[in-house]
Structure 1
């Protein structure tokens, strides 16, 4: 005897008779053909509207020649192509950047959207675990749009309901290799939407020569290198504190000397004072004349210089109290930048325990109270562990150059920075490829930015000393 059961009732059946056959026939709801056709037509029309809205240039390039050929014949198509090529050549000749932005990059985005991302979207999502295959149907995150700039593809994605950002940051390697990119970075656009960045090339592959000394006195964000998107890397040292961490040979000196170089006109104008602590007696001593009597090398002199900085800070705070809440550099109250080349030697490796405690206390006081009165700290170290630098969280802005271990990335840049794409442990140890390359995480932005500092050679430092030493001594 056969019994017809709907749904999943067969799972709850227990049969003790071997010859009993159970036939499962699921309930079938017949959708009228007209409704199915209407749904299909609506989807096609919606897809065409999205295509026209997102890729008007590419669609015009594909459709217009076909329409003209059909209406007027191939000679008119040939004439149109020649006219377009001529107009494009003239446009490129006079304004290459705008032609690339308006035409070239949009056509590239159209091509990569369909040939790279949509073609591989379903298998990459399923294999990486970001999509689901349930009851014979694929549930995939939606590819919203693809845009291109000079160095990367920017892919906007709508997540599946119930997914979290961590589901994507844990699979950046899967995404990068699945779409043929060297890396993938995940940032949050808004609730439910992510932006995936897939680099096509590396603008930071070649070393950067030293930047020209600014023509005007700049105290705000100063240019010291280049960001991965090709824009200038401007480091803000006034009104904040900066920690630079990196292994030996990672390029900490490039960050320090590029900052000093950019501030020299302001030093000449009397708006900035550079105070240098150089316990290794190697990096900053080469330009010692730039600092005048604000240079210290021995631990005892470093402690005295830090105490003097604390005294100046407290004196300013007493004068500013109730009068102003922020500092504007002037000749009477210049911005003071305290540069510490190897801060761990003073805070962890110093054998004199009392001296070590005094230095740590002074640095902690400066980093907690100095920014409002115009006293900033730029500190560099090799080992970012807590027991080596227990006040690293007092530095709002952090730079991670090449590091030895993946765990150190989050120690420097904060929890989750490596999952967001800050692979400082994978930077090449080759000086030409990796020196000065790093990731920056600013106080007001949790997403790391890949950068490269310009290299300031010994000859550049000698020229700086020859031209600006007298102002450093005068300060």
Structure 2
């Protein structure tokens, strides 16, 4: 017969029969009902206080009718509720922005907290492996707060002791599908706390028309599109180098022409010079009149133009040495931006080895020494592999458009970028949905930001050439080719450059 032993006696048990089954039953301590009730009531009161403290507006809206009904009766409460509803609808119609900022997003955050995140928190985290169920008790990361805006929910979480950020970035797909979102992005708020971003809609689903040419003469940052949260995408070009990687038709030309468009007033004022290398002869050649004699398409001419930029850089370094550390654009020393479309053709696929060495050496020199003296490089390519572009780490700012493989995302944006939500390999290949959409990772921030560059159409480029090209005896603007290689339709009605 089997015998049940209390927990303290199990260690003293000695059995000489190997197949003897021993059933261990821990000692049971009965808690008085009074103590259990006090614990439950204290937890309930603490939860209510915490709810009111974190969500004062939502709690007041919910509790005010109850208080009025108890004090004055249901008729007066119904009248007050009706007046509040009418006033709220009027406010929402007449002052939508202020209503959403002060009331609307707070109410939505409270509702999403209760109905979506708090409701599914335990099963999603246990199944995904971010929570633990040990000895009948669940150990879960603490859900602190939910913040909502026009496009996403931001959930602040306190991690369990011993967890790492990688534990969460490895499970973003579990979290996204568990809470009904298409993606999840993980960012570090501070030690032990994370912010999970769950998009509710895609504000970049509609193409953007070209941003207006700025009225102010400036070398940047230039506005070339919109970020996912609605802020304008302003790309820094002076004092840095930018690498753009994307498959064919991903919209690299939108970033090149958007940058040129934003620098046109500074070019007219003589503060900026754009040197264009266009080995494909299809993208930058469409507006070559803007570049004057600083345009090259033949690989030999590209090598000469890059070496000329190196000479300018070295001459400035000799003059600035010991006098200044940063460059300020002037008419005498303008900011020089070297644009290279399809740089891989010059650095990897060039059959002439001497030209390849010259071009690679010039690009390496410019990207290591150029930005301090006002010489920047913006390069675009399709294949980001190291054997194709072995100097990609010399570009501080990087942009990943639609890529063919998930491994290429980290090649462009750095290790761990895809785990933090930069799903460049998931961008739609349909031009109206994915052209110009990408992820930007800046030197000053390790977290990738989803953006979309505005589409600069053929007509926009013709207008730019007609208004800003220097007067020369070259081909007039009317004889520019009818269509560029990357041309795609863009929806113009009801769309602004700010998304």
TM-score bracket, shorter-length normalisation: over 0.9
Give the corresponding residue for 1:223. Answer: 223
Whole-angstrom distance in 1 between the partners of 2:472 and 2:80: 65
Is the deviation greater in 143-152 or in 67-76?
A: 67-76
Q: 5+ residue gaps in structure 1?
A: none
SS class of match (1:155):
strand
Which residue pairs with 2:297 in the alignment?
A: 297
Cα RMSD of the aligned pairs, angstroms, is: 2.1
Q: Which residue of 1 aligns with 2:193?
A: 193
**Is 2:17 aligned against 1:16?**
yes
What is the CA-CA distance between 1:34 and the residue it aligns to? 5.0
Q: Which stretches in structure 2 are left out of the alignment for 5+ residues?
A: 475-499
TM-score normalised by structure 2 residue count = 0.91
Aligned to 1:417: 417
Equivalent in the alignment of 1:347: 347
In 2: Cα distance, 1:234 partner to 1:452 partner: 11
Deviations 1:143-185 (A, max 9, x none): 1111101000101111111111111111111111111100101
SS of residue paired to 1:470: coil
| Equivalent position SS for 2:377 | strand
In the other structure, the counterpart of 1:250 is 250
- Range 31-40 or range 332-341, more displaced: 31-40
Cα deviation for residue 42 of structure 1 reads 2.9
Asked if the contact 2:225–2:454 (Cα under 8 Å) also holds between the matched residues in 1, the reply is: yes
- In structure 1, the partner of 2:88 is 88
Matches within 5 A, 1:66-465: 66-465=66-465
- 2:480: which partner in 1? none
Contact persistence 1:291–1:473 (CA under 8 A): no
Single out whichever of 76-85 and 288-297 deviates more from structure 2.
76-85
* Deviations, residues 18-50 of structure 1 (Å, cap 9, x unaligned): 8x7856442334555555444333322221221
- Which residue is equivalent to 1:61? 61
Work out the CA distance in 1 between the residues paired with 2:292 and 2:388: 30
Report if aligned partners of 2:157, 2:193 keep a CA contact under 8 Å in 1: yes
Which digits, 9 at most, give the CA deviation of each residue in 1:428-453, with x for residues without a partner? 00000000000011111111100000
Closer, same or farther: CA 17–446 of 1 in aligned 2, 3 Å: closer
CA shift for structure 1 position 325: 0.8
Please tell me whether the aligned partners of residues 277 and 295 of structure 1 are also in contact (alpha carbons under 8 angstroms): yes
CA distance in 1, matches of 2:468, 2:293: 15
Compared CA separation, residues 320 and 473, structure 1 to 2 (3 A) = farther
Give the CA deviation at 1:250.
0.2
Whole-angstrom distance in 2 between the partners of 1:268 and 1:456: 19
Whether the 8 Å CA contact 2:242–2:397 is kept in 1: the answer is yes
The offset of 1:217, in angstroms, is 1.2
Per the TM alignment, residue 274 of structure 1 is displaced from its structure 2 partner at its CA by 0.7
What's the TM-score, normalizing by structure 1? 0.95
| TM-aligned CA distance change 1:448 to 1:141, over 3 Å | same
1:8 and 1:220 map into 2 onto residues whose CA distance is: 78
Distance 2:147 2:216 in 1: 37
Q: Secondary structure at the match of 1:280?
A: coil
Q: Deviations over 1:299-352 (max 9, x none)?
A: 111111111111111111111111111111111111111100010011011111
Distance 2:151 2:370 in 1: 39
Alpha carbons of structure 1 residues 435 and 162: separation in structure 2 relative to 1, 3 Å: same
> What's the CA shift string for 1:56-96, capped at 9, x where partnerless?
11111111111111211223223222332343244334432
Q: Matched residues in 1 for 2:169 and 2:337: separation?
A: 37
Residue pair 2:244, 2:401 contacting (<8 A) in 1 also: yes
Deviations 1:219-244 (A, max 9, x none): 12111000011111110001100000
| Aligned length, in residue pairs | 473
